[in-house]
Chain A
Amino acid sequence: MSIAQAIAPHLPYLRRFARALTGTQQGGDAYAVATLEALIADPNSFEREMEPRVALYKAFLKVWGSIAINQVTDTPSASGSITRNLAALTPPARVAFLLSSVEGFTHEQIAGAMGRSPEDVAGLIDEAGREIAQQMATDVLIIEDEPIIAMDLESLVEGLGHRVIEVARTRSEAVEAVKRQQPGLVLADIQLADGSSGLDAVNDILESFEVPVIFITAYPERFLTGERPEPAFLVTKPFRVETVKAVISQALFFDQKSHRKEKSAVG
């Protein structure tokens, strides 16, 4: 099989990886094209003893690491926060993280593509996790009237490296809390101690600023029938700690800020 035949099926994946790595399709394609040009100039540089996909990515990474192709910035899109979050990772950690999480490479394959040991790769992926956690670290407002659940949420949130600025038990406490300090994330129960609604509290808060919001409730129907902000996340009680952690990380990594739903006839 020729090199071209061996690598052809992997080109769409390489373009995906290149886009994730550089932040834009245009920028990614420029590197992918430069990789093919480098192979044409010197076909022997292709490591035939490797799996073709790994060898292709290795050739790509060599080009990416050695040439600065004009960094084109596409118009900011919905994925702007993702690009920003990925771009903030140190390059080797970003490469290892994307090869693992997006491309589904094993540590051995990543080691081959990056020219490093599998142990190094494991370290880089851990490093990427730490860097992402640090970037996402934010101040959290918890709106929850049940003390035990509030404590569980506090320790869960702190375990992810965030800081809980306040636990509000009612709608008015929540509104007062954000006047003192603006949170970067809100976790909200819906049915609160004094009969007030966490949904109303969040809608009040979103009048002054946008913030990712995760509703954690035993009464999902109140969320589904209420006037809810968009986008918003819903976790039902009793919750699994891992679920809440994953939703928090998703909301922050993808910067999914909620805003008030546009009212139509009402108000």
Chain B
Amino acid sequence: MTQKKSARRPDPAKAGPGGVGREATPGLVPQIQDHIGRQLRAVYEDVLNQPVPDRFKELMDKLDEKLGETE
């Protein structure tokens, strides 16, 4: 098992401009990355539905005040 796994490590010598190295280390095809991305968005979706904490609102007010002073 260990031998086989080490064989899968990227071999810089094989990585050429033609992207030969990708064969030595299979990556994720874009569709699968997109799929994982969609799942991740679902996992983190609750953050978007939460109200932004008060601390953020205070800081935004401060930012406005500060800009009022400088502009």
Contact = CB atoms under 8 A, between A and B. Distances in A.
A136 to B, nearest CB: 9
Contacts of A36: 56, 59-60, 63
A22 to B, nearest CB: 12
Interface of A (DSSP majority class): helix
Interface of B: 1, 4-5, 8-10, 22, 25-29, 31-41, 43-45, 47-48, 50, 52-53, 55-56, 59-64, 66-67, 70
Interface string A1-32: 01110011001110110011000010001001
Interface residues of A, number: 50
B63 A43 contact: yes
A101 B60 CA distance: 28
Interface of B (DSSP majority class): helix
A125 interface: yes
Contacts of A137: 5, 8
Contacts of A102: 37, 40-41, 44
B63 A39 contact: yes
A128 B45 CA distance: 22
